Structures are given as C-alpha cells and as structure tokens.
C-alpha cells in the first residue's frame, strides 16, 4: 500500500469513528448507528475510487466484446480481483447493498436522504449493466456523483443532529426530549 493510500485509510478510520460517535449520541441504538454510518462508508468508497481508481472485470481477460452487456462473463476468472476488486461486480453490488440497508432506518419522510439513496442504487447498478465501453467512460463521473450524493446524506444527518431542538423542564432544567 502506497503512503497516500495508507494516509487516506488512517484519516478515513478516524473520520468514521467520529461519525459513529455523533450518530451514537443522536440515536443511542447500536444497529441504527451502524446502518446510518453506511452513508459515510459509501462516501469514503467513492472518494477512494476518485483518487485511486478501480479495475474493470473486462480488463482482466481477453476476448471481451466491449459493446456487449456482461461481455466479460464468458472469460471471467473467479479470482479475488475479479470478485472483490472490480467496478462491474464489487462497486455496483456493494454500493447498492449498502444503500439498500440504509432504507431500514431512512423512511420516505426523510426526503433528502431517501432520494439520495434511491439515486445511489440506480446509478451503481448501471455499472453492472452497462457494456464495458460505456462503463469505462461512466466510472469517473459516477464516482464523483456518488461521492456528492453520499456526502449529501451525511451532511443532512449531521444537520438533523446539530439543529435538533431540545425541550427542557422549566422548573428543574432537566432535558425532556428532542423536538
């Protein structure tokens, strides 16, 4: 791992720990905190791909029809790189799955977050279904848009946290509930 990648990883771990702490302070529920933190994980993943890139499954074998959907499938080698380090498989399915999990705690009344999650799923699944020649041109704009969409989710969650009004007992200054 290169120095810049290691630095990004360390900063990312510190940032996700801080975000988990903020979410825990707001929700005080373990699984809700973990699931809602996935928005930040998607942001970090997208930012990683903007900075360091990712492989395409179609580049790992020869004889791929670049204009065919799933053109890489017939010559795929079921290796670590193919399954866990490609745009077509890893990025598209993992981002769709992470965003889908977030629907557990993101109801439609959370309009901004709900809309961003829907867009993330649709845009990530395009990586799987686009032919290689189109996916190659689509990957970098997708990474940037995905980073912005997931950052919007994180910022909206932080805004909700820091703008929450608290009702106090007028007599004893005890905290009653968040409004």
| pLDDT score of 53 | 84
**Is the pLDDT assigned to residue 171 strictly greater than 80?**
no
**Is the pLDDT assigned to residue 177 strictly greater than 70?**
no
* pLDDT confidence tier of residue 170, bands split at 50, 70 and 90: low
Least Cα distance to 47 among 79, 85, 75, 5 occurs for 5
| pLDDT score of 41 | 95
Instruction: Check residue 90 and report its DSSP letter.
Output: I
pLDDT tens across 118-159, in order?
999 999 999 989 999 999 999 999 999 999 999 999 999 999
Long-range CB contact pairs, 136-143, < 8 A, 24+:
136/56, 139/49, 139/54, 139/56, 139/87, 140/50, 143/46, 143/49, 143/50
**Is the pLDDT assigned to residue 174 strictly greater than 60?**
no
* pLDDT confidence tier of residue 173, bands split at 50, 70 and 90: low
pLDDT tens across 13-30, in order?
999 999 999 999 989 899
CA atoms within 13 A on the CB side of 17: 6
Kindly give the interhelix angle for 3-27 and 132-162, rounded to the nearest 10 degrees: 40
Q: Rounded mean pLDDT of 33-50? A: 94
CA atoms within 13 A on the CB side of 8: 15
Phi then psi dihedrals of residue 29, to 5 deg: -130, 125
* pLDDT confidence tier of residue 31, bands split at 50, 70 and 90: very high
CA atoms within 13 A on the CB side of 166: 9
**Is the pLDDT assigned to residue 85 strictly greater than 70?**
yes
**Is the pLDDT assigned to residue 172 strictly greater than 60?**
no
Q: Kindly state the tokens that stand for 133.
A: 């020649």
Neighbouring CB atoms inside 10 A of 159's CB total 11
pLDDT tens across 95-113, in order?
999 999 999 999 999 999 9
Q: Rounded mean pLDDT of 58-81? A: 80
**First vs last Cα of the chain: how many Å apart?**
46
- Environment class of residue 98 by beta-carbon count within 10 Å: exposed (0-12), middle (13-18) or buried (19+)? buried
Specify the residue for token string 């705690």: 105
């Amino acid at each position: 791992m290169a120095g810049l990648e290691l630095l990004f990883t360390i900063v990312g771990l510190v940032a996700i720990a801080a975000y988990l702490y903020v979410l825990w302070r707001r929700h005080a529920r373990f699984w809700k905190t973990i699931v809602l933190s996935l928005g930040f994980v998607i942001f970090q993943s997208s930012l990683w791909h903007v900075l360091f890139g990712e492989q395409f499954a179609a580049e790992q074998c020869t004889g791929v029809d670049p204009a065919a959907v799933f053109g890489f499938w017939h010559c795929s080698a079921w290796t670590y790189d193919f399954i866990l380090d490609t745009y077509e498989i890893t990025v598209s399915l993992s981002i769709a799955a992470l965003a889908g999990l977030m629907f557990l705690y993101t109801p439609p009344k959370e309009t901004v977050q709900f809309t961003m999650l829907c867009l993330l799923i649709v845009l990530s699944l395009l990586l799987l279904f686009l032919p290689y020649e189109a996916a190659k041109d689509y990957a970098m704009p997708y990474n940037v848009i995905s980073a912005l969409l997931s950052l919007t989710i994180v910022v909206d969650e932080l805004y909700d946290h820091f703008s929450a009004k608290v009702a106090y007992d007028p007599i004893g200054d005890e905290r009653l509930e968040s409004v």
